[in-house]
Amino acid sequence: MKQLSIYTLFASLAFLPLTACAASETPVQSAATQNGTAQNNLQAGANLKEGKSFTVITEGEGQDVILIPGLASPRDVWAATRMQLSGNYRVHSVQIRGFGDAPGANAEGRVLASFVAELADYIDDEIMRGDSEKKPIIIGHSLGGFSAMQLAAKHPGLVDRTMVVDSLPFFGMIFGAGATAQTMKPQAVMLRDMIAAQEKYTADARTLQSMSISDKGRAQVAAWAEAADPKAVAHFMYDLMTTDMRADMPGITVPVTMLYPLDETVLPAERVDTMYKAAFANAPAVTLKRIDGSRHFIMLDQPEAFANALEDFLAGK
């Protein structure tokens, strides 16, 4: 059973596994409804921009910071972080289409590469505009953290520095050192097709246990999952499971801070530290920082510790 606990802990890195279920009577809100609500709730001076694979709310003044949520999570996961950064930074809060609204372009195909490419274009066109001194700070959780690492690897000229909140350079690492993108493909196809075929789904109880230490946190994560579109989740999940960044990690020159959680009721500190150090052993630009008393959603479980780690990161410590 200990091996199952390890699997469950690492499964949280990609918001897996997700259990498909029958459609409920409450429909997922449409993109028009979600975007209208977001527009109506914008603070003075903020604006909403819509792209093919994501929408983004921009607010504030100062150095640009981009916040990217994880799989099946809306931009609301960063609500406290947006408040923390307000007044000192120009914050770009991304929401991947399908994670709280209609999937749009994310309903089919290789969605992760398209998302990262579109985000790079957004940085180039909307933030830097030819000014190499205006590189944004990128902060991403889970899938968002993986996307942030891809930006750092493929577009280093567009990134100042990056904070990754609990992610891995290759999801298949949880299945053993010999796992490759090719060997992961059959399971990835199975999960993609199973979830994409459903009208609605929910995170199972075991997965929710690995997401947050509190009932309140697990309820919040469950609500976010239920609002996500199955097709978008399915295709991002497939891409995450079959994209291996390990060969790219040694070449990343942008400073990366990687926050990872520890809950000693699940695994002892020494074992958790060893796993994360091994995962990033070939990534000299990555600095690991552990947040105790937390599971996957560190910002929900330890908001003060997360806020302090964020301040240190922003200060370059």
Query: Do the Cβ atoms of 96 and 118 come closer than 8 Å?
Result: no
Question: How many other CB atoms sit within 10 Å of the CB of residue 193?
Answer: 11
| Amino acid letter, 8 | T
pLDDT at 60 (0 to 100)? 95
- DSSP symbol at 61: S
Give the alpha-carbon dihedral of 127, 61, 65, 28, to 10 degrees: -90
pLDDT tens for residues 219-229? Answer: 999 999 999 99
Which one, of 81, 19, 36, 70, lies nearest residue 226 by Cα? Answer: 19
Query: Do the Cβ atoms of 19 and 201 come closer than 8 Å?
Result: yes
d(CA 148, CA 143): 9
- Which are the contacts of 69, defined by CB distance < 8 A and separation ≥ 6? 75, 77, 78, 94, 95, 96, 99, 140, 141, 142, 143, 144
3-state secondary structure of 265: coil
| Amino acid letter, 135 | K
Residues lower than pLDDT 70 in the chain: 1-44
Structure tokens belonging to residue 263: 């809950």
Question: How many other CB atoms sit within 10 Å of the CB of residue 153?
Answer: 23
